[in-house]
Amino acid sequence: MSLFDKFQPMIDMRAELAEIGVMPFGPVTEKLFSATEGIVNGKHVILAGTNNYLGLTFNPDCISAAQQAVAEQGTGTTGSRMANGTFSDHLLLEQELADFFGVNHAIVFSTGYAATMGMSATLAGPGDVILLDADSHASIYDGVMLSGAEVIRFRHNDPADLDKRLRRLGERAKEALVIVEGIYSMGGDQSPLAEIAAVKRKYGCYLMVDEAHSLGMIGENGRGVAESEGVEADVDFIIGTFSKSLGAIGGYCVSNHPELEAIRFTVRSYIFTASSSPAVIASSRAALRIIKQQPELRTRLWDNANQLYDGLKALGLKVGPQASPVVAVTIEDRAQAISWWTQLFDLGVYVNLVVPPASPSVHSLLRCSVSAAYSSEQVEKIISAFTTLVNTTPVNNAG
């Protein structure tokens, strides 16, 4: 058996797509005109799949902060946080994140993946139990597999199933770690966090929430679903990323547990990787200030999200159970999903094509992520492109 045999399904898929001239995975962005439009694979498109929720990648304050940091501190740290890679701005961002979330401790990681995977791999270990939502992000799954803990999946967004599985653990339940997301990245559905927090209180376990797709978007201050549901005091650890609403790259974990300061020196994805560049830290700090000072961005984001969700739902498309900045259309027929992705692209709209095993089910998704930077006319153009597809080729959700 060849070392490469396990890659044959992907080799076959790439060959199949190349034969019909489709390149849905890793499209090349050649030029950006703004946070919402650019040249992708040679075509001028609306960027409807970038996770640029607040449109801050072109914000003048963020750009200016990054430019000044490069001029004063150089292009990179060339070292890990444990060695020479802790600059004063890393510490300032950690303090500002802690202040933003109203907690005492924060860790900044080089990527969101490193934060989520690292904390999932480190908090629990051999002899411990982790319970995670079945639709959790790949970074969470990767982390818990590295942890050595016993891993139990519970049904997606099902507090009753979580309760049942914790009950079966008996005395072990009080030391278990539960991991959920605020808004799920593929379907855009929101966690029933108030109910999950109630289960957590019942058994006395620990709760970690990934707010990657809800930071800056929900809650009175933009802190995420835990804030909007009024259960921040029940959440032991909040993790997230800078690569969505903050328009940069990086990750974080915040907590009121003083042990977090010791935990940081045991997280391998923190210890053994270079720290974030000065420009990234500076632009992230500027973006965090904007989230605090400009709540109107959240209002615009949700106006656009509701417009797109309502428009696609009115077409009879299978979207998520509630409006969200992530609006995903489920198409059971993979060939049609690929065809529709291509046609949308030809109509000037770039969305994400998600096929199994990347999708959370056996079906494919055409995933849109909404931005506060969209005009109402741009949202209408996205809806119009889907309308054209529906009118020419009705969706096949029987295959």
Pair 113, 154 in one domain: yes
Cα 354 to Cα 74, 284, 351, 357, 359, distances in angstroms: 37, 28, 10, 8, 6
Task: Report the pLDDT value the prediction gives residue 38, as an integer from 0 to 100.
Answer: 97
Max avg pLDDT among 14-28, 97-111, 381-395 = 97-111
**pLDDT 10s digits, 232-266:** 999 999 999 999 999 999 999 999 999 999 999 99
Pair 299, 287 in one domain: no
Does 241 reside within a domain?
yes
Residue-range definition of the domain harbouring residue 147: 61-293
Task: Report the pLDDT value the prediction gives residue 9, as an integer from 0 to 100.
Answer: 84
Task: Report the pLDDT value the prediction gives residue 358, as an integer from 0 to 100.
Answer: 64
Q: Give the pLDDT mean for 101-117.
A: 97
**pLDDT 10s digits, 263-287:** 999 999 999 999 999 999 999 999 9
Does 399 reside within a domain?
no
Pair 157, 289 in one domain: yes
Determine the Cα–Cα distance for residues 37 and 54; give it in Å rounded to an integer. Answer: 14
Q: Per the structure block, which two tokens stand in for 241?
A: 């990323």
Pair 153, 259 in one domain: yes
Pair 161, 218 in one domain: yes
The count of domains in the chain is 2
Task: Report the pLDDT value the prediction gives residue 396, as an integer from 0 to 100.
Answer: 67
Q: Going by C-beta distance under 8 Å and a sequence separation of 6 or more, which residues neighbour residue 68?
A: 282
Q: Which residues is 108 bridged to in the sheet?
A: 252
Pair 33, 108 in one domain: no
pLDDT at 302 over 60: yes
Task: Report the pLDDT value the prediction gives residue 335, as an integer from 0 to 100.
Answer: 87
Does 148 reside within a domain?
yes
Determine the Cα–Cα distance for residues 97 and 124; give it in Å rounded to an integer. Answer: 24
User: Binning pLDDT at 50, 70 and 90, where does residue 75 land?
Assistant: very high
Does 160 reside within a domain?
yes
Determine the Cα–Cα distance for residues 245 and 177; give it in Å rounded to an integer. Answer: 27
Does 276 reside within a domain?
yes
pLDDT at 23 over 80: no
Pick the last residue of a domain from 238, 261, 293.
293
Q: Quick one: three-class SS letters along 308-333?
A: HHHHHHHCCCCCCCCCCCEEEEEECC
Q: Calculate what percentage of the chain has a pLDDT beyond 90.
A: 86
Pick the last residue of a domain from 254, 270, 293.
293
Determine the Cα–Cα distance for residues 180 and 206; give it in Å rounded to an integer. Answer: 11
pLDDT at 399 over 50: no
pLDDT at 368 over 50: yes
Pick the last residue of a domain from 276, 293, 310.
293
Task: Report the pLDDT value the prediction gives residue 398, as an integer from 0 to 100.
Answer: 46
Q: How deeply is 80 buried, as exposed, middle or buried, from its count of CB atoms within 10 A (0-12, 13-18, 19+)?
A: middle
Q: Give the pLDDT mean for 184-206.
A: 94
Q: Which residue has the higher pLDDT, 75 or 361?
A: 75
Q: Per the structure block, which two tokens stand in for 300?
A: 């615009």
Pair 50, 121 in one domain: no
Under 8 Å between Cβ of 55 and 287: no
Tokens 């995903």 locate to 328
Does 306 reside within a domain?
yes
Cα 183 to Cα 226, 297, 308, 324, distances in angstroms: 10, 18, 17, 8
**pLDDT 10s digits, 318-345:** 998 899 999 999 998 888 999 999 999 9
Determine the Cα–Cα distance for residues 189 and 181; give it in Å rounded to an integer. Answer: 10
Pair 350, 204 in one domain: no
Helix (H) or strand (E) holding 29: strand 29-32
Pair 314, 378 in one domain: yes
Does 190 reside within a domain?
yes
Determine the Cα–Cα distance for residues 92 and 90; give it in Å rounded to an integer. Answer: 5
pLDDT at 190 over 60: yes
Task: Report the pLDDT value the prediction gives residue 397, as an integer from 0 to 100.
Answer: 64
Cα 96 to Cα 27, 104, 231, 286, distances in angstroms: 35, 10, 21, 11
Under 8 Å between Cβ of 376 and 36: no
Q: What is the strand order of the sheet 150-154 is part of?
A: 105-109, 251-255, 237-241, 206-210, 177-181, 129-133, 150-154
Pair 22, 104 in one domain: no
Task: Report the pLDDT value the prediction gives residue 1, as an integer from 0 to 100.
Answer: 72
Show the beta-strand stretches assigned E in 65-176: 105-109, 129-133, 150-154
Q: What is the strand order of the sheet 29-32 is part of?
A: 29-32, 37-40, 43-47, 349-350
Pair 274, 370 in one domain: no
Q: Which residues are catalytic?
A: 185, 213, 244
pLDDT at 312 over 90: yes
Residue 50: which of 375, 368, 374, 381 has the closest Cα?
Answer: 368
**pLDDT 10s digits, 34-43:** 999 999 999 9
Q: Which residues is 365 bridged to in the sheet?
A: 330, 354
Rounded-to-5 percentages of helix, strand, coil across the chain: 45, 20, 40
CATH number (domain holding residue 345): 3.90.1150.10
**Rounded-to-10 torsion of CA 190, 194, 196, 202:** 180
CATH number (domain holding residue 223): 3.40.640.10
Determine the Cα–Cα distance for residues 393 and 399; give it in Å rounded to an integer. Answer: 15
Determine the Cα–Cα distance for residues 304 and 373; give it in Å rounded to an integer. Answer: 9
Q: Which residue has the higher pLDDT, 26 or 15?
A: 15
Q: Going by C-beta distance under 8 Å and a sequence separation of 6 or more, which residues neighbour residue 179?
A: 120, 130, 131, 132, 133, 136, 140, 144, 208, 209, 210
pLDDT at 185 over 90: no
Pair 69, 158 in one domain: yes
Does 43 reside within a domain?
yes
Q: Which residue has the higher pLDDT, 17 or 349?
A: 349
